[in-house]
Amino acid sequence: MDEFQIIKQYFSHGTDSSHIPVSVGDDCAVINVPAGSQLVFSLDTLVAGVHFLADADPAEIASRALRVNLSDLAAMGADPLCFTLGLTLPDFDADWLEGFSKGLRETAEEFECPLVGGDTTRGPLTISIQAQGTAPTGGALLRRGAQVGDLVCISGPLGDGAAALATLSGELPVDAEDLAYLNDRFYRPMPQLSLGKKLRGIAAAAIDVSDGLLADLGHICQSSGVGADIDIDRIPVSSAVLKNSPQEQWLPWVLGGGDDYQLCFTVPEEKTQALYGLMGADEFDISIIGTIVEGEGIRSRHDGALLAASGYQHFSTRKTSS
């Protein structure tokens, strides 16, 4: 099968979106950007053996690749519009392509973000996805807006991504139920798109947690010229993590493990009522974990110690709960 047959058979998903007059098959896709909106886009590349195991289920690789890109759109408060795919394949493998394209199509349909073009080449297995979205002009959520006094919030549990990797490598044995939960969190991270949209006009700064809380909140702090004080006891951790690992093991996952794809965002005082409104809604699982302060770096509110992604020792014992 040549490149053109591969594209036709596996990646010409088609779309009936009114925003997309021209999709896969021409030299370029043509997209209508709604009036009053800005185009918001980002690209992520996943390399086999580096970002995922080469023998992982191709449908799950596809699902994860698209979801992590959608998570970047969520962090900007953007609505998904469409995406393109750069696919490098070592050889033609019909079963792999069937699984990959099915996982990709299902995820694209779930998030109403169709595939509109790409490039197909031969070489070491590599997947690049560029997701496009829109946000009202001037309304995208940026990293650089945090101000002293803002509350620091997180959209859900941290540490699951790193715990999932530990189960995959055999380092963390867990029961079938927790394995299913962690696998799901790793391969099907939920891009926080509806929260991202609701945070427009509420959050001062936002980022998705792909590299770990300290690294990603650190980006907000650096871009905004501020520091943060964090209550470690308030960071949400799933029961699948708390149940199966001691604190010395999970704390570095929570602070420094990536792959969680929660949103970390800051909310200024005048918007706290709106924040409480979101926190009261069943749809979301937001926790307030700290405040933005003057200075730089991220400190424990407990004792003022500067936090590092690994080896933070001064932590009060917490109860097991989710």
| Complex with ligand ADP: residue 38 or 45, whichever CB lies closer | 45
Minimum gap (Å) between residue 119 Cβ and Mg ion? 4
User: Residue 108 binds which entry of Mg ion, ligand ADP, none, with Cβ cut-offs from 5 to 8 Å by kind?
Assistant: none
Minimum gap (Å) between residue 156 Cβ and ligand ADP? 31
User: Residue 115 binds which entry of Mg ion, ligand ADP, none, with Cβ cut-offs from 5 to 8 Å by kind?
Assistant: ligand ADP
User: Residue 282 binds which entry of Mg ion, ligand ADP, none, with Cβ cut-offs from 5 to 8 Å by kind?
Assistant: none
Instruction: Please list the residues that pair with 132 across neighbouring strands.
Output: 41, 82
d(CA 262, CA 284): 11
d(CA 241, CA 182): 9
- Measured CA distances, 292 to 110, 228, 286, 296, 315 (Å): 35, 4, 17, 10, 20
| Complex with ligand ADP: residue 119 or 175, whichever CB lies closer | 119
| Complex with Mg ion: residue 117 or 159, whichever CB lies closer | 117
Minimum gap (Å) between residue 49 Cβ and ligand ADP? 20
| Complex with Mg ion: residue 117 or 268, whichever CB lies closer | 117
| Complex with Mg ion: residue 1 or 54, whichever CB lies closer | 1
Q: Residue 248 — φ and ψ, nearest 5°?
A: -60, -30
Residue holding tokens 């926080």?
192
Minimum gap (Å) between residue 37 Cβ and ligand ADP? 23
User: Residue 26 binds which entry of Mg ion, ligand ADP, none, with Cβ cut-offs from 5 to 8 Å by kind?
Assistant: ligand ADP
Gap between the terminal Cα atoms of the chain = 50
Q: Where are the alpha helices (DSSP H) in 123-271?
A: 160-168, 176-187, 193-199, 213-224, 239-244, 247-256
Minimum gap (Å) between residue 227 Cβ and Mg ion? 46
Minimum gap (Å) between residue 102 Cβ and ligand ADP? 14
Q: CA quadruple 267, 73, 35, 198: dihedral positive or negative? A: negative
Q: Which two tokens stand for residue 311?
A: 């080896």
Contact footprint for Mg ion (CB under 5 A): 119
Contact footprint for ligand ADP (CB under 6 A): 7, 11, 24-27, 85, 87, 115, 117-120
